């Protein structure tokens, strides 16, 4: 078993269920079974992680909305009881004022994505855009924990051409400045706007000392989630250029372990944590990625 020097990130899928159906997410098309990780199983997972040194952080993430888990707060307490740094990625729709500063969380990552009501329509949800943004704003207000609001941006030609996800155009500086300033002021009224010359793409933009905006590129999930009218031509086997298989593990709600957080349907599964020790699962990682998902990840997008 080896970890790279880039860090050891552990994604734990508390649940595969989600209350959104975003058109830029693979979730609606996942075939693997849905379910929730019990607190008993979460403890087994955390016990297993003790066999792996130097974990940088644990994140409730992967697929699904972690806050749908009925014992989300207890799950956070359990992870913190093991001494890990804890992140959560949430769409933010279930955040309540009572959660702020009460749930033990080191980093709230709010997958806000939608820069307008029109963009929010891509998320396939009943909740209104106004209620959604107000709920997040109320959570952020007076919160002393670290919060990052993630916006979604287009940079690849095929995403921009199709206006996929109605995302921010990361090649249009003026549009980005206007949007970031408006959203920043909405969540933190004291935010004075984007600094001249500030890096805006995949950069943490401080709204207040503990609250940030981050513009991330659309992921396209190993080129498996593309706008209509585009397809991927698979690439050739080679080592993962991102080193994902060396620096992270994703643990699904049922204990299956994958070496990559892009593996939404479990194509790269190494085995099950409840059946084999974690170090032996990690030893099964291959130096060359030749699976179909990875070949698509290495591939080239063309018009269909
Ligand atoms: S899908 Fe394969 S090649 Fe792509 S990031 Fe994951 S492990 Fe690496």
Residue pLDDT, tens place only, 286-299? 888 999 999 999 99
pLDDT in tens, 2-56: 444 445 899 999 999 999 999 889 998 899 999 999 999 999 999 999 998 889 9
Does 256 have pLDDT greater than 90?
yes
Average pLDDT over residues 102-109: 96
End-to-end CA distance of the chain: 41
Q: Which two tokens stand for residue 79?
A: 């992870």
Partners of 162 in the β-ladder: none
For residue 260, how far is the Cα from the chain centroid? 12
Average pLDDT over residues 50-71: 93
Per the model's pLDDT, the better-predicted residue between 3 and 270 turns out to be 270
What's the pLDDT at 1? 45
Instruction: Quickly tell me which residue has 């919060």 as its tokens.
Output: 147
DSSP 3-state assignment of 107?
strand
Average pLDDT over residues 275-291: 92
Mean pLDDT estimate for the chain: 92
Q: Which two tokens stand for residue 116?
A: 């307008």
Average pLDDT over residues 104-115: 94
- Residue to mutate, 222, 239, 290, ligand 1, most ligand atoms under 8 Å from C-beta: 222
Q: Which atom of ligand 1 is nearest to the CA of 245?
A: 7
What's the pLDDT at 221? 96
Q: Vertex 38, ends 221 and 99: CA angle to 5°?
A: 75
Average pLDDT over residues 107-117: 92
Average pLDDT over residues 218-230: 95
Burial class (CB in 10 A: 0-12, 13-18, 19+), 120: buried
pLDDT in tens, 160-174: 999 888 889 999 999
Residue 293 in contact with ligand 1 by CB distance below 6 A: yes
DSSP 3-state assignment of 56?
coil
236: number of Cβ within 10 Å: 9
Residue whose CA lies nearest to ligand 1 atom number 1: 294
Query: What are the C-alpha distances in Å from 136 to residues 218, 237, 256?
Result: 22, 43, 32
Does 203 have pLDDT greater than 80?
yes
How far, in Å, from the CA of 158 to the mean position of ligand 1?
A: 20
Residue 160 in contact with ligand 1 by CB distance below 6 A: no
């Amino acid at each position: 078993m080896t970890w790279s020097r880039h860090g050891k990130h552990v994604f734990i899928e508390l649940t595969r269920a989600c209350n959104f159906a975003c058109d830029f997410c693979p979730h609606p098309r996942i075939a693997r079974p849905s379910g929730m990780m019990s607190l008993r199983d979460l403890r087994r997972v955390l016990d297993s992680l003790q066999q792996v040194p130097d974990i940088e952080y644990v994140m409730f993430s992967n697929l699904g909305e972690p806050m749908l888990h009925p014992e989300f707060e207890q799950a956070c307490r359990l992870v913190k009881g093991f001494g890990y740094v804890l992140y959560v990625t949430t769409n933010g729709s279930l955040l309540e004022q009572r959660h702020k500063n009460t749930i033990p969380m080191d980093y709230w990552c709010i997958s806000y994505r939608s820069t307008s009501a029109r963009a929010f329509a891509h998320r396939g949800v009943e909740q209104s855009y106004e209620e959604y943004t107000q709920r997040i704003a109320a959570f952020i207000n007076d919160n002393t924990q670290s919060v990052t609001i993630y916006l979604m941006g287009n940079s690849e030609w095929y995403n921009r051409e199709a206006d996929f996800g109605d995302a921010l155009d990361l090649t249009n500086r003026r549009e980005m400045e206007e949007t970031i300033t408006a959203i920043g002021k909405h969540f933190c009224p004291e935010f004075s706007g984007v600094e001249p010359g500030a890096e805006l793409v995949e950069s943490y933009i401080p709204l207040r000392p503990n609250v940030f905006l981050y513009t991330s590129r659309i992921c396209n999930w190993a080129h498996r989630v593309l706008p209509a009218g585009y397809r991927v031509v698979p690439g050739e086997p080679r080592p993962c250029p991102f080193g994902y298989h060396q620096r992270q593990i994703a643990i699904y709600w049922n204990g299956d372990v994958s070496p990559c957080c892009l593996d939404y349907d479990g194509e790269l599964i190494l085995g099950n944590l409840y059946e084999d020790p974690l170090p032996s699962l990690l030893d099964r990682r291959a130096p060359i990625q030749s699976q179909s998902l990875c070949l698509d990840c290495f591939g080239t997008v063309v018009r269909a």
